[in-house]
A and B are shown apart, each in its own frame.
Chain A
Amino acid sequence: MADTMQFDLVSPERSLVSVQVREVRLPGTDGDLTAMPGHAPTIVTLRPGIVTVLASDGNATEYAVTGGFAEINHGSVSLLAERGHPREEMTQEVFNDMMADAHRKKKAVEQKHESVGEEIVTAAVKLLADMEALGTHVGLDPNQASVPD
């Protein structure tokens, strides 16, 4: 069996990364998972978090992603994220933007509480919490983001 596989990180606007990797650690909605060559074909949704990519030479690269899913095959992992940034590019500014987005979503859902049901509100709250955790993890302050009214 091949010891590397193809990893692609694509956003709606462009393809961000396309490399050969040894393993990929993904923040799945229901829990983290690691994909290695020969993984059973799986499609998994992701929570906001850090994706760690172990390149074929053993170097690890980290990416912060939000809102996406991954398609895992025997020899490839394709990660489709609405936003993806290499960890070095995760500045407070970018993060503030993401936080504001999550706040906005939560607000919108809460306003329509009656019609959408408890589950979706919980999901939005969870999204916000995940986002905060992501920021704390990379050492950014979640409280700097402007909270829209």
Chain B
Amino acid sequence: MPLDTLIEKTELKKAVAAATQVTFIGSGNEVAAKAILDIGYDGEGYYPITPSCEVGEMVSRAIANGEADMSFVVGTSELAAISVVTGMAIAGGRAVDVTSSQGLMLKAEEMPAISGLGLPVVLNLATRDINAPLNIKNGHSDLMATLGWGWLTFCAPTVQAVYDLNVIAIKVAETVNLPAIVAYDGFHTSHANRRILVFARREDVRRFVGPTPPRLNLLDLEHPHTFGPYMNDDLINTKVQLDEKFKRAYDLIPEVFEAFFQLTGRRYNFVEVYGDPDAEAGLFILNSAGEASKASVDRMRAENKRVKAIIPTVLRPWPEDEMREAIGDTPRLVVAERASQYGAGNYLANELGATLQRAGKTNLLISRTYGIGGLNFRPEDGVELLNLAWHYPSITEDERKLRGYYGAWPGEPGYDPPEIFTPLTAAETTLNANQAKIDFKHLSQMPSRIAKHSACPGCGMFANLNLFMRGIDGNVVFLFNTGCGMVVTTGFPNTSFKTPYFHNLFHNGASTATGVVEMYRRFRAQGRIKDEITFIVVSGDGGDDIGMDQVIGSALRNDPFIMLEYDNKGYMNTGGQLCYTGFKGERFTNAPLGKMGQGKQQHSKDIIEILRGTNSPYLFTAAESNPRDMIAKARKAQAMVRAGNFAFGKVFSVCPLNWGAEDSKGNEIVDRAVKSCLFPLYEIENGITHLNYDPQASGRKISVQAAFELMGTAFSHLTKEQFAGLTREIQDETDRRWDRLKELATNPKL
């Protein structure tokens, strides 16, 4: 479709009619979900990441309750989720996604493809810093990374704006065929509960947004098109097209803002100026800190200082004229950014500088990076930054730097903390060698490699680690995937690990371990390392959803480390979202129960059986209810690794918090999971399957219902009559898998 027919101004005008607004109380995430539901999307692709998780949870709850009719797909990763969205959009659907931080980074591959394809999808971005060390709090490094990706970018400083800009963004996006980001501050806005106004009637929102305008799509059989072709020299022309669309968006956005104002009484502009237009000092600052800066301006003006805050609403298209006018003749401004370009001028400071330079202006821009990692920005901080601009000519040489950080600290000179612990030795941790028997009293002498941690009482992960590690001798290096396990052990400046430990992001543990063991073997061969080391990767089941390919890679290469998956049947660190290892019918925050919802819709992913296809030499399941078996498997896994092989183990791990189970009952819960064959104990050694415990043969097999009884509120509905059909289905599938496993175990050729 030619670009010039896309903007239908007359259509836009028709939507203008005052629409009743009512009070709504909610957080930034809740009102983003409310907007999604009010707009009426065809589908959402979703993957949980803090702090944006709740948006998908609330949408899925509305679907489960029969209050929304839309497709909702939980991807196996952020990249999967956004690709689902691409699929929805190329099929002609109206599609939305939410993310934050590294989630956005994992989507990065797909982001410029979406704008290149001209797909008008909306991405809600609850901003969060990107980095190692890991931090889950606010920062704009994710947002800033997107600026060249060809997405319209709206910034919502308040909870109210999150709702409003969602409605506005889809309207603009679908009119010009560009994707749009609505960025709001992680935690500062996503978790801030406020009273806002929303449309009383969903029809009013839908009338304003209008139906999805027709566009080329994959399901149009009468007009078959090839999307995503290979392109050589012509590619530059697509970039011109993209740029032209941004020009159209620039013309269109004020009209949509005006139409929205007519409808709601709420006015948005490209950029908001608060304070004196002819101020002597200014502060240019995004989102929640921009909003807080208004209080700073009030305080300064009370002291008769003419100052202003400049808070942009739109970053893409870059509203050059409006930005220049907002700055006006104010001689000095601090441009404060929750991001840094390290060793270069900051993102927006550079852009503003170029804007001023093109107009021949000489306002002084003082750049400061602030608020990284969720550091709060209070009105007194705004006063300090405005005062920096105000007093700039008279401050000391040291303070006069034009680029710098606000709110960092140097640390205490001469701080020299005492040694409080002597590293473990291989000798004191070697207790299994030459022990034919498993003697618990003997193993009581095994020093724990993990010190105090802050996991919930009764956490299954540490019960498993505590037990498993008693069967592992000698020097150990841990590698953890992201999850509760790393969060509750390594809060800076303290650590719970007595051994060397490395947490690499989310799902990368297996490949990272591969790199580490490669160097270990190399350095050992060179004689640079004398000590024997066992490498253990610890991952949640979530890490093996998103990181499945990397686990398979390590298994295929037979890289010598142990990978231990603590399977707690969900994304528990982020608040109990669906993971594909979860049982069918299990209740999650993004797979709730309701009129139309019965929890997770698929049977549990069988990762050991998936890995069977790699022909890895040692695969096993283990359970704390069978401690002797677990220690035997730990010993065997270590022997396998010492012989140069990969070993993968899956342990059933209770999550009392998100399962709603009793803290004390972990061991019995696991015992029932084993006896019901929901979690059979077996191992595959060089392709041969051994059942380690056969509850059926000993007459101890119980029903899945009996297992679910004790597992807490995420499962207890499955014991009720109302869900009998679903429970029967789980029983049948469990029995089918169990019967198959028995067959595999009887014949070494299978």
Are A and B part of the same complex? Answer: no
Interface residues, chain A, CB within 8 Å of chain B? none
